[in-house]
Amino acid sequence: MRYAAVLSVLLLAACAAPRAPQVQTVPEAALAPHLLAGAPKAELERAAAPERRIAFASGYEVWLYHVPAPGGAAEVVVLIGPDGAVRKTRRREPP
């Protein structure tokens, strides 16, 4: 009886565990033409709004996107310069 109670508590705790947040993906074909160095950020934003934006006092911005990839969603990070143009991009595949 005691083991059944402990098992019940463990099963309930497992059900209440937080789940990984779902990311919003953007088709890679929509982003690809706008990820080239020198592309204006306005065009990139028209193609797809970023999931997250980080603005720095220096005028630089970092935009985060997720694109579908085998095994999950790949992370695409875009560095935008103070002039409003794409400077660099980085893609990280899902584990």
pLDDT along the chain (95 residues), means of 10: 58 57 85 95 95 97 96 96 97 93
pLDDT value of position 23:
79
Give me the domain span that covers residue 39. Answer: 22-92
Q: How far apart are CA 85 and CA 61, in angstroms?
A: 10
Whether 7 maps to a domain, the answer reads no
Whether 1 maps to a domain, the answer reads no
- Return the closest-CA partner of residue 86 out of 28, 24, 42, 29: 42
Helix (H), strand (E), coil (C) string for 14-66: HHHCCCCCCCCCCCHHHHHHHCCCCCEHHHHHHHCCCCEEEECCCCCEEEEEE
Whether 78 maps to a domain, the answer reads yes
pLDDT value of position 69:
94
Count how many domains the chain has.
1
Whether 50 maps to a domain, the answer reads yes
pLDDT value of position 47:
95
Q: What is the CATH number of the domain that holds 71?
A: 3.30.1450.10
Token pair of 22, please? Answer: 């779902």
Whether 33 maps to a domain, the answer reads yes
Whether 52 maps to a domain, the answer reads yes
